[in-house]
Amino acid sequence: MTNRTDPRLGPTHPSLAGRGLAIFDLDRTLVPGSSLVHLGRALVRRRVVPPAALVEFLGRELLFRRRGLSGPGAERLQDRLLGMARGIEYAPLLPLVEQVGAEVVRQLRPAALRLVRHHQQRGDYCLVLSASPQELVGAVATGLGLDRGVGTRSEVVDGYLTGRLDGPLCHSDGKLARLRDELGVLDLTSAVAYSDAATDLPLLRACGHAVAVNPDRRLRAAAAAAGWPILDLT
């Protein structure tokens, strides 16, 4: 837990001044399945990656819908997509990612949308924090009218993707690292965080108010033990 006497505390991002903070996981929390798979399908349709890759993405999607992905599973999916994108020119991908972001927004669970709008009406600073690529998460946040989207950054050199990450994977402990990268050192003791997976326990435990949404078995058990609310959104 953050030490409230630390002089660095406080929101360091000017838009956070005097506002609550609501942090939403994306995949299986706000939307069913994986936003990364939507991107993979779009890359296949545009022939940016080989058609055979679609079978892998669909298989990952089915597995993710059923039980989510473990830390190693998420890293393997991310690495696979990064590897396929290696050497691709970056700028032409941005319009495609925006289209995929709009597609993901259309998949939002109605109950999840009501939850997001509730926080917006309260005046909270609302952000999506996801392992999916920064550009995709940002497009989803923009499509929802949220304040910020924070995801995993890919390295770009001379206008081309290198197939490597630029910073930590925004997953598990990496979510807190990416949050600090984007917004500075924050006091999370009054923040509320929503997630479906036990891999997000570092984030949930760092926030003053944690909510388990459509939780996997491990998170459901942890939420029950900690007395956190459990939401089953359909």
What does the alpha-carbon distance between residue 41 and residue 43 come to, in Å, rounded to a whole number? 5
Two tokens, residue 178: 């990416």
Active site residue 27: yes
C-alpha dist (Å) from residue 58 to 124, 178, 219: 36, 28, 25
- φ/ψ region of 126 (left if φ > 0, alpha if ψ in -120 to 50, else beta) reads beta
Strand partners, 22: 126, 192
Active site residue 25: yes
* Cα-based torsion angle of the residue sequence 19, 175, 135, 165 in order, rounded to the nearest 10 degrees: 150
What does the alpha-carbon distance between residue 139 and residue 167 come to, in Å, rounded to a whole number? 20
Catalytic, out of 6, 27, 181, 187: 27
Catalytic, out of 25, 124, 196, 216: 25
Supply the residues annotated as catalytic. Answer: 25, 27
